[in-house]
Amino acid sequence: MSQLQCWDRIKDFDFASKFAGLEIVVIDDEEKWKSVYGSNDSKSSHNPKTIILKKEIFDRQDITDGDISWLIHEIGHIDFYNGLGENLDEYMEKYYQTGEYANSEMEQKAFEKQFQFLKSIGKTKTECVAVIENYLEKTFAENQEGEKSKERGQIMGYINMVY
């Protein structure tokens, strides 16, 4: 993690600094990324506990604060996985069964860290909303307005817990 070009921008955020030594996977094949990981530029895996990043977005000096905040989001996942200890596999199995992406303790923790980070670098609530709108735009197709608006509502709740 500490070898990422953007590390200097997050290392002072106490939460991130604890994960300096975490091994991450950086993928620079755009086509492969799309077919394996879809529309989002970052992922986390619980077994093994790993963060997977699209190189084009994350390993660059001029990365946006919004994109950096997604790295914090993924670190939030790893932190959550660590906290579950032996119950991790059981939690993840149940999580996948419910199919409720944002409406989960895990996503709540990850989004809270993401917004705490943005707040710590001086971003306003409106700027956080813009990061989320950008994400929703990329994630949902035009015929998914219902799902999109449900997820927006859940994530707005997490923004409101931080601001």
110 near Zn ion (CB under 5 A): yes
Segment interacting with Zn ion, rule: CB under 5 A, options 1-9, 24-32, 109-117, 151-159: 109-117
Integer Rg of the chain from CA: 15
* Nearest CB to Zn ion, comparing residues 3 and 47: 47
Residue 23 to residues 53, 105, 110, 126, 149, Cα–Cα distance (Å): 11, 24, 18, 33, 35
71 near Zn ion (CB under 5 A): no
Sign of CA dihedral 106, 111, 114, 115: negative
CB atoms within 10 A of CB 33: 21
72 near Zn ion (CB under 5 A): no
* Nearest CB to Zn ion, comparing residues 47 and 143: 47
53 near Zn ion (CB under 5 A): no
132 near Zn ion (CB under 5 A): no
Q: Which residues bind Zn ion (CB under 5 A)?
A: 107, 110
